[in-house]
């Protein structure tokens, strides 16, 4: 049985399949546990060009030994579920059949060539992109990792505060935490390889104007072009770390996003003021026909003329 697209929406991983002509700009891996002995892997990849991606990909599977080192433990095959467009890029969703895992700590890795030319990293086009997820399978926990409900944007506007929020939720959010365990989202490295059990960061990387936490991701782009970043989601069941997802993502800074399809999140009204700046109420219910200043949940304001029906 295939993992349903909606349940993993964007589980991304980059595999050993290499297509240098089709640069990868983002990816994430999600894991779904359907009971103690049924596990499925989802892979989501964003590519720059509409390359003929393979119908199936073999993801690397590693297992932690008694000394605490991850050792090769075979492969997991994921097959294509859907293909779609997003911000002028191409999305490929893959999912595996359900399979059994012995108890233990696992690491699933997708490696692919290559990053596009990035403004914040030298020689990126010669480096592999590496996406991974660590997953604990045991009698303590064999649940579901977070997944993307809505993708992070790729096209962002130059010299503007591009705020992606809400990060967590159940609707109109970027990430969903299906088991309601504790989660922590943070910035991490931009990777170029996985070697000898270590994720190898790209060097040199320049620090940029990015802030990530469990409330939002904020990016201010001052240089046109593509900028690559790493994000990490740590998930805890009680005091036990049960999964670590390492996401790789690209923001493309453009002069204007007005003509580019954006991944809009529905904004919630947080307050209403009259035209003299006097606070009226928190929503628009029952207002008479007039010009108002409205504040939304994403921090923006609008001047709106409301017509009473």
Question: How do residues 68-97 score in pLDDT, each as one tens digit?
Answer: 999 999 999 999 888 888 988 999 999 999
> Do 19 and 115 sit in the same domain of this protein?
yes
- Report, as an integer, the average pLDDT of 53-76: 94
> Do 163 and 284 sit in the same domain of this protein?
no
The answer to which of 9-18, 22-31, 52-61, 190-199 has the lowest mean pLDDT is: 9-18
> Do 128 and 217 sit in the same domain of this protein?
yes
Residue 59: inside a domain: yes
Residue 172: inside a domain: yes
Per the structure, the count of domains in the chain is 2
Does pTM surpass 0.85? Answer: no
**Residue ranges making up the domain that contains 231:** 5-254
> Do 183 and 274 sit in the same domain of this protein?
no
> Do 128 and 90 sit in the same domain of this protein?
yes
Residue 180: inside a domain: yes
Residue 222: inside a domain: yes
pLDDT at 280 over 80: yes
> Do 231 and 280 sit in the same domain of this protein?
no
The answer to which of 13-17, 172-176, 215-219, 302-306 has the lowest mean pLDDT is: 13-17
Rounded CA gap, 242 and 130, in Å? 20
Contact in structure between 64 and 104 (CB atoms under 8 Å): yes
Residue 259: inside a domain: no
């Amino acid at each position: 049985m295939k993992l349903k697209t909606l349940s993993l929406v964007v589980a991304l991983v980059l595999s050993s399949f290499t297509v240098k002509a089709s640069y990868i700009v983002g990816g994430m891996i999600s894991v779904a546990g359907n009971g103690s002995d049924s596990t499925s892997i989802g892979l989501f990849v964003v590519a720059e060009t509409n390359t003929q991606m393979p119908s199936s990909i073999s993801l690397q599977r590693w297992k932690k030994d008694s000394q605490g080192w991850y050792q090769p433990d075979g492969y997991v095959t994921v097959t294509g579920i859907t293909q779609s467009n997003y911000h002028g890029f191409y999305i490929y969703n893959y999912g595996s059949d359900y399979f059994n895992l012995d108890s233990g700590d696992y690491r699933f890795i997708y490696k692919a060539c290559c990053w596009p030319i990035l403004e914040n990293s030298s020689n990126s086009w010669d480096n592999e992109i590496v996406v991974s997820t660590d997953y604990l399978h045991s009698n303590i926990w064999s649940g579901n990792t977070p997944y993307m409900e809505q993708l992070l944007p790729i096209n962002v506007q130059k010299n503007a505060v591009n705020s992606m929020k809400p990060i967590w939720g159940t609707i109109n959010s970027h990430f969903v935490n299906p088991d309601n365990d504790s989660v922590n989202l943070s910035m991490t490295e931009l990777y170029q390889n996985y070697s000898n059990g270590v994720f190898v960061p790209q060097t040199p990387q320049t620090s940029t104007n990015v802030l990530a936490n469990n409330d939002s991701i904020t990016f201010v782009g001052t240089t046109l072009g593509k900028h690559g970043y790493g994000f990490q989601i740590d998930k805890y069941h009680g005091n036990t770390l049960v999964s670590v997802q390492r996401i790789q993502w690209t923001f493309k800074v453009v002069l204007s996003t007005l003509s580019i399809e954006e991944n809009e999140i529905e904004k919630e009204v947080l307050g209403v003021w009259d035209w003299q700046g006097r606070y009226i109420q928190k929503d628009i219910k029952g207002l008479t026909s007039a010009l108002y200043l409205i504040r939304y949940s994403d921090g923006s304001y609008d001047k709106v003329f409301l017509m009473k029906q």
